Amino acid sequence: MLEIDKVTCSFGDVTAVKQANLTIQRGEMVGIIGRSGSGKSSLLRLINRLYTPQEGTIRWDGQTVSDLKGRELRAWRQRATIIFQDYNLIPRLDVLTNVLLGTLGRRPLAPVMFKQWPKELRAQAVLELDRLSMADTVFKRTQFLSGGQQQRIAIARAMLQEPEILLADEPVASLDPINAEIVMQSIADINASRGITVLVNLHSIDIARRYCRRVIGMNRGSIVFDGPVSDLTESAVAEIYRKRTQPCECSGDAVAQVQPVMPVATAVYA
């Protein structure tokens, strides 16, 4: 169970997340909706600990993760992996290598620099790609693949980390409708078949209704809706997306962008 208790995160005078309280059961698939700058991305980054809260606590199965440091923090980011809208792949590398880089956090750097991967890991990577109908792209460079294909590669890389929580930050925002459906179905299948907890930020209310049983709505860094999809009425949607007359406090998503996931790998293979 994921517990978020009175979590607040600010960047200078900008409040990205304000007194957030959430309880997410293991195995749930939860959609998070709201206007741009409402704090959705910051909330996921707090859970993954790319951001650190100034107030409140985050716990997973009773373990407090909001104050982890060093090796324990790196281990947590493996367990609560995050995928992004812009994929964060290395374009000139082949698909298999990009997926294998998901294990970078638990492998020595020297073998990785020379692309030395154990056979067991290579087989696991191919299996993850096959589950996403991407096995035929193993040796292709990612730069030649479509956006939907690249997002599925990013999902395969995340699965190679063997996560307990999958955090998806606008995974279909830049995709056409057909590829958006393929990616969302892939994420839903992972949730259903493996019991992995999923939190996914979405711009589309329709996609949230079709793929998530529970929806969280955010406005100006605050959680203003939390309930089953059946309660997502027109009035609830209006409150989530209501435009405020005051200056927005919660554009922290744009204020403090943290380099995500793969900076070491990029340096090694650039």
For 95, 123, 201, the CA distances from 147, given in Å and listed in that order, are: 13, 24, 18
Task: Give the domain CATH number at 8.
Answer: 3.40.50.300
pLDDT surpasses 80 at 151: yes
Question: Which pLDDT belongs to residue 190?
Answer: 94
Averaged pLDDT, 60-79 = 91
pLDDT surpasses 70 at 34: yes
Tokens of 174: 């830049």
Instruction: Name the DSSP class of 118.
Output: -
264 vs 42: which has the higher pLDDT? 42
Averaged pLDDT, 187-215 = 94
* CA distance linking residue 249 with residue 37, whole number of Å: 9
pLDDT surpasses 70 at 26: yes
State the number of CA atoms in the 13 A half-sphere of 155 facing the CB: 32
Lowest-confidence segment of 52-56, 120-124, 251-255 by average pLDDT? 251-255
Averaged pLDDT, 107-132 = 78
For 45, 105, 147, the CA distances from 76, given in Å and listed in that order, are: 12, 11, 28
Query: By residue range, what is the domain housing residue 189?
Result: 2-269
Question: Which pLDDT belongs to residue 104?
Answer: 75
pLDDT surpasses 60 at 199: yes
262 vs 169: which has the higher pLDDT? 169
Question: Which pLDDT belongs to residue 259?
Answer: 37
Averaged pLDDT, 134-154 = 92
Q: Give residue-wise pLDDT tens across range 207-265.
A: 999 999 999 999 999 999 999 999 999 999 998 998 764 444 444 444 433 334 443 34
* CA distance linking residue 261 with residue 256, whole number of Å: 15
pLDDT grade, residue 108 (50/70/90)?
A: low
Query: What's the domain count of the chain?
Result: 1
**Mean pLDDT value across the chain:** 86
Instruction: Quote the pTM value.
Output: 0.84
42 vs 103: which has the higher pLDDT? 42
Q: What is the DSSP string of 178-206?
A: HHHHHHHHHHHHHHHHH--EEEEE-S-HH
* CA distance linking residue 236 with residue 218, whole number of Å: 11
Residues paired with 10 in a beta bridge: 15
* CA distance linking residue 223 with residue 217, whole number of Å: 6
